Chain A
Amino acid sequence: MSMVTFEHVVKKFGDNTILNDISLSIEKGEVVVVVGPSGSGKSTFLRCINALETIQEGDIRVGELSVRGTQAEVRELRREAGMVFQQFNLFPQLTALENVMFGPLESRGVSKQQARTEAIALLDKVGLAERMNHYPSELSGGQQQRVAIARSLAVRPLLMLFDEPTSALDPELRHEVLKVMKDLAEEGMTMVVVTHEMDFARKVGSRLLFIDDGKIAHDGKPAELLSSPPSQRLKDFLQHVV
C-alpha cells in the first residue's frame, strides 16, 4: 500500500483552481522534493495531504486514512503525517523540551516520564539537548526549526511534510536544518519537501515534482530533471532559482 495517494484531486479557492486533477502516489521511504514557481500551488499541495486545506474533488489518503473522513479519522491521519512549517510555529509559552513533549502528551497519551525521555533523545538527535530548557524566543531561527522538527518527530509520524523549512532562515543557518533533514532521509523516513534548495533536491531527494499552474508538470529523478530539464518552463524556473 502506498504511503500517500492522490486521486483526481481538485483544490479551489473560490473560483480559482489551485490544484487541477492531480493523481499520484508516494511510496514508503521516498524523499519527494516539490518545486515550482511561487503561486503554483506547491504549498497547497503539501497542506492538502494533512487536511490543513480541504479539497473540493477527489481524495487523498495517507495509508488507509482519508482527508475526507470523519474528524477523528482526520486527526489520526494528521498524527501519521508530521508537519514542519516555514515560520517554525513553536509554542512560545513552552521551553524547547516542553514543545517536544507536547505532542506525545496531548495527542498520543504517552506518560510524562516516557515523553520526557523521548523528547530529550530527539533534541539530542537534532543537536539541541543542551538548550532544552530555553524558550523559543531565546533560540536562533535554525535552532527553532530544529526543535520544530523534533517536535513533529515526537508524535511518531509515518511521514514528514516540510513546507519551505529553510525559507525564513539566514543562509548560514540553513545548513544546520538541511543536515537534520538529510539524516532523517538516510534513516529511511518518508518525506515530502517543498523547497527552493536545489542542492538538497539533487543530493537528498529521490524524486522531484515540478508543479506548474496547478498540475504536476514533471515527475522524475532529481538528477535527470535538474541536469537536463525536459521543458523550457523548467529550464526558465531553474535559471531563476539558482
Chain B
Amino acid sequence: MDFDFSVVQDALPSLMAGTWVTIKITFWGLFGGVLLGAITGVIRAYIPSLFCAETIRRNPIAGILGPLLSLLAQLYVLVVRGTPIVVQVMFIYFALPLLMDVRVDGMSAAIATLIINSGAYIAEIVRGALQSVPKGLFEAGQSMGLSFHRILLKIIWPVAFRRMIPALGNQCIISLKDSSLFIVIGVAELTRQGQEIMAANFRAVEIWGAVAVIYLILNGLIALALKIMEHRMRNV
C-alpha cells in the first residue's frame, strides 16, 4: 500500500484538537499529581506510622494524627498502585455517580484519575529522594536553630528535587501515555480522535503513524525540558 500524506493533512485539525485535550489532561493531571505526591511523600518520609505512647503523652494531637495520616498515605499508595488505571477511571466515571450524588464529566474524570494515579507514584519518588538526602544536612539545619519546615523547604527539598528529576521525568512520560487509556470513557483526547478518524476512512497506517509521531514529539519535549532542568541544577 502507499502512504498518502493528504490523509494526514485532512485529519490534522481533529488530531490537533485531540492533542490539545491530551496536553490539558496531562498538564493538570501532573500538576495535581506533583502536589498530591509531594505532600504524600513528605508524610511517608517523615511521619512514622507507629503509634508511640511517649509521643501521644507529650502531644496527643500530633501523636494520634501523625500516624493516622501516615497510614492513610500508605493505604492510598497501596490501592492506586494495586489497581489498573483503566479500572480507576471507569470507577470514577461510572461508579462514583452511583455511589454519591455527583455528576462527573469525562474531562474532569480523566484529570482526577491522572492526579490520583500519578500522585501515588510521585509520592514514592518523593519519599525515596527525601530519604536519600544525607541526614547530616538536616542536622546542620537543626543545629542552626531552624524549624522543621524551614529545614525541609530550604535545605532538604532543593537537594531532593534534583535527585527526583530522572524518576519524575519518567513519570511525566508514563502519565502522558496513560492518558490515551481515557479512550474508554470517551474523552476526545489524541488516541480517541485517531480512532474516530480511522473508523471513518480506514487509513490505519497514516492515522496511527501520525498519532504515534505526535506522542513522540510531546514526550521528546518533556525529555528535553527535563534535560535542561537537570543541566541547570548540576551543582546540587
Contacts and interface: CB of A to CB of B under 8 A. Distances in A.
Consensus secondary structure, chain B interface = helix
B159 A75 contact: no
B147 interface: yes
Which interface residue of B140, B146, B150 has the most chain A CB atoms within 10 A?
Answer: B140
B235 interface: yes
B144 A78 contact: yes
B142 interface: yes
A35 to B, nearest CB: 22
Interface in B17-74: none
Contacts of A135: 235
B209 interface: no
B91 to A, nearest CB: 41
Contact of A52 (B134, B139, B155): B139
B236 A93 contact: yes
B157 to A, nearest CB: 10
Interface string A14-37: 000000000000000000000000
Interface residues of B, number: 20
A5 B142 CA distance: 21
Contact of B140 (A76, A89, A137): A89
Given A92-B236, A106-B150, A78 B143 contact: yes
A92 B134 CA distance: 11
Contacts of A77: 145
A107 B139 CA distance: 14
Given A93-B236, A106-B150, A82 B143 contact: yes
B198 to A, nearest CB: 49
Interface string B148-164: 00100011001100100
Given A91-B137, A92-B159, A52 B144 contact: no
B136 interface: yes
* Of A71, A78, A90, A135, most B-chain CB atoms within 10 Å: A78
Contact of B134 (A89, A106, A155): A89
Given A85-B136, A87-B134, A106-B154, A93 B143 contact: no
B154 to A, nearest CB: 6
Interface in A23-77: 50, 52, 71, 75-77
A135 to B, nearest CB: 5
Given A52-B139, A81-B143, 20 more contacts: A50-B142, A71-B147, A75-B145, A75-B146, A75-B147, A78-B142, A79-B144, A82-B143, A83-B140, A85-B136, A87-B134, A89-B139, A91-B159, A92-B236, A93-B162, A93-B235, A102-B154, A106-B150, A106-B154, A152-B143
Interface of A: 50, 52, 71, 75-79, 81-83, 85, 87, 89-93, 102-103, 106-107, 135, 137, 152, 155, 161
Q: Which 4 pairs show the lowest CB-CB distances between chains A and B?
A: A79-B145, A89-B136, A83-B143, A89-B140
